[in-house]
Amino acid sequence: MDFSKIYREEILEHYKEPLNFGTLEDFDMTSRQFNPFCGDEIVIFVTFQNDKISDIRFQGKGCAISVAAASMLTEHAKGRSKEELTKFTEDDMLSLIGIDVSETRKKCVFLALGVLKDCLVQNAKF
């Protein structure tokens, strides 16, 4: 179907078969956030090695946009340093997902990003 600009093939593929979906038995950090607007929920598990993300998984339920965003973000984050990811902005997230979304749906795009950022900050405390 080509009428939809948002639901292009890549987004739907990530939704149907998300990358890094699941949990980690041994993880260094985890965080969970909830989007009351759509009832979406994303949990991320991370392990670090030398300040770099060595492994990452996410779980949750949500719309195609939030799941695709989590899939793409976790894939992007793998092997990157905390410092690099701390600088990763909402605009970077929009470019990563590569679709033009409305204001209301931005919350779906940014849900996983918020969870990942939380994992980075929390870890800094230890």
Partner 1 sequence: MKNHKKDFPIFQNNPDLIYLDSAATSQKPRVVLDAINEYYTSYNANIKRGIYPIAEKATAKVEEVRKKVAQFINAKSKDEIIFVRNATEAINLVAYSLASTSASWRISRGDTIATTIMEHHSNFVPWQQLAIQKNADFLVLDIDQNFKFQISNFKYQIKNAKILAITHVSNVLGTINPLKKMINDLRTVNADLIILVDAAQSVPHMSVDVQDLDCDFLVFSGHKMMAATGIGVLYGKKTLLSKMQPFLYGGEMIREVTIQNTSFAKLPHKFEAGTPDIAGIVSLGAAIEYLNSTGIENVLKHEIMLIKYALEQLKNMQELTIYGSTNARKRGGVISFNLKGIHPHDVAQILGEMEICIRAGHHCAMPLHNRLGIPASARISFYIYNEEQDIDKFVNGLQKVQKMFR
Min dist. Cβ of residue 10 to partner 1 (A)? 13
Min dist. Cβ of residue 31 to partner 1 (A)? 19
Q: Which of 10, 23, 32, 39 binds partner 1 (CB under 8 A)?
A: 39
Nearer to partner 1 by C-beta: 37 or 83?
A: 37
Q: Is 18 in the site for partner 1 (CB under 8 A)?
A: no
Q: Which of 13, 37, 49, 54 binds partner 1 (CB under 8 A)?
A: 37
Amino acid (1-letter code) at residue 41:
E
Q: Is 79 in the site for partner 1 (CB under 8 A)?
A: no
Please identify, among the stretches 23-31, 59-67, 70-78, 117-125, the one whose residues bind partner 1 according to the rule CB under 8 A: 59-67
Take residue 31 and report the two structure tokens written for it: 């965080």
